């Protein structure tokens, strides 16, 4: 499973990429609005410079002609740009055309049928929104599993990007489900590493080392 970061905040992306586990970034209009972006193209190119991997950039038109025009523009910015298109009928019409010159991430997916339709129209990535379904009492992870089953049934070269992730448990379930990619906020990424037993264990090691460091510490310093 690949980990993507779900943000447009440059400092979060720099820090997360330094950990060696982040392979891409997803943005959306909300992320862009919240990140204080002033120059959209320059900001996306800065993200690409940091992550050196696929960066999803979402169109904002709701008619297929506008979506295609926007896709043509953002695809010119970099080969790393993935064009994010909402999974609506106008989006399908746009995907049919955009697939010939850009990689597509079909977003706002809330049902297996939507995932199928987007993939059939030409999307390489499909993004089921896990937490937004969980939040209304549906099983977001079941949607991820259903998308994976559909692609496996037909041996389809498509990738599921589990999106709208809020908890470490959702990430764990994505790992067990075999999701190709999970895109998550920086806060969730940090939470994956938190465990009190690790903190306690490290303190115990260092406390015990402190008892002998005067005598043995030089060995660690090559003396």
The interface with ligand E4P within residues 180-199 (CB under 6 A) comprises 183
In the DSSP assignment, the letter for residue 168 is H
Compare residues 192 and 204 and give the one whose CB is closer to ligand E4P. 192
Comparing CB distances to ligand E4P, the nearer of 114 and 127 is 127
Extract the tokens encoding 77.
Answer: 């910015």
Please tell me the count of residues contacting ligand E4P according to CB under 6 A: 11
C-alpha span between 119 and 151 (Å, rounded): 9
* N-terminal to C-terminal alpha carbon distance within the chain: 43
Tell me if 132 contacts ligand E4P by CB under 6 A. Answer: yes
Q: What six digits make up the tokens of 111?
A: 């049902």
Site for ligand E4P in 163-182 (CB under 6 A): 163-164
Q: Which of 97, 87, 35, 34 is nearest to 65 (CA)?
A: 97
Point out which span in 13-21, 46-54, 70-78, 125-133 binds ligand E4P (CB under 6 A).
Answer: 125-133
**Token pair for residue 13?**
């992306």
Phi, psi of 140 (to 5 degrees): -60, -35
131 near ligand E4P, judged by CB under 6 A: yes
Q: 84 catalytic, yes or no?
A: yes
Would you please indicate which residues are annotated as catalytic (active-site) residues? 84
Using CB under 6 A as the criterion, which residues of the chain lie in contact with ligand E4P when the complex forms?
Answer: 6, 26, 28, 107, 127, 129, 131-132, 163-164, 183
């Amino acid at each position: 499973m690949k980990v993507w970061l779900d943000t447009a905040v440059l400092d979060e992306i720099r820090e997360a990429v330094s950990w060696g586990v982040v392979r891409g970034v997803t943005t959306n209009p909300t992320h862009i609005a919240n990140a204080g972006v002033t120059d959209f193209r320059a900001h996306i190119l800065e993200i690409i410079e940091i992550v050196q991997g696929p960066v999803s950039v979402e169109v904002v038109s709701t008619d297929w002609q506008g979506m295609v025009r926007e896709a043509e523009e953002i695809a010119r910015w970099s080969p790393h740009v993935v064009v994010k298109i909402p999974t609506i009928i106008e989006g399908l019409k746009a995907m049919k055309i955009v697939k010939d010159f850009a990689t597509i991430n079909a977003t706002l997916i809330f049902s297996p049928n939507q995932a199928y339709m987007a993939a059939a129209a030409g999307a390489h990535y499909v993004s089921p929104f896990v937490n937004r379904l969980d939040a209304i009492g549906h099983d977001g992870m079941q949607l991820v599993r259903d998308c994976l089953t559909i692609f496996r049934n037909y041996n389809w070269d498509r990738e599921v990007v589990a999106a709208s992730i809020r908890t470490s448990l959702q990430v764990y379930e994505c790992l067990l489900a075999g999701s190709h990619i999970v895109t998550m906020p920086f806060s969730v990424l940090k939470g994956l590493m938190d465990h009190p037993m690790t903190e306690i264990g490290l303190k115990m090691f260092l406390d015990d080392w402190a008892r002998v460091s005067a005598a043995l510490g030089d060995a660690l310093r090559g003396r």
